[in-house]
Amino acid sequence: MIDRIFSAALTFGLLIAGTLAIGAAMFGLDRRSVATHAAAAHVRVVQLEPVVITAKRLAPPAKLARTESTEPAASRVE
């Protein structure tokens, strides 16, 4: 019995919420339309000076593992 009452109340609540959401969108009361109008406003664009990055690759701090040429897997390692 309680599940039928809950189901009916949930359906009625969703019907009311959907009606209010559609009505707000029709009359322009939703916040998304306000954000859309604010995004359409003129925005000042500033261009920064170009930056030149110079770098030097450092040697690795530790020795890396290498395979010996006598190992069978050595032919696949580059």
- Domain assignments of the chain as residue spans, ordered by start: 2-55
Distance of alpha carbon 48 from the chain centroid: 26
Instruction: Output the pLDDT for position 21.
Output: 87
- Cα(8)–Cα(14) distance, integer angstroms: 10
Element (H, E) at 2: helix 2-26
Do residues 77 and 67 lie in contact, with contact meaning Cβ atoms separated by under 8 Å?
yes
What's the pLDDT score for residue 64? 65
Task: Annotate 4-25 with DSSP letters as a single string.
Answer: HHHHHHHHHHHHHHHHHHHHHH
Q: What is the pTM of this model?
A: 0.38
pLDDT of residue 16: 96
pLDDT at 36: 62
Mean pLDDT, 10 residues at a time, the chain of 78 residues: 90 95 79 62 85 82 64 56
Tell me what pLDDT residue 19 has: 94
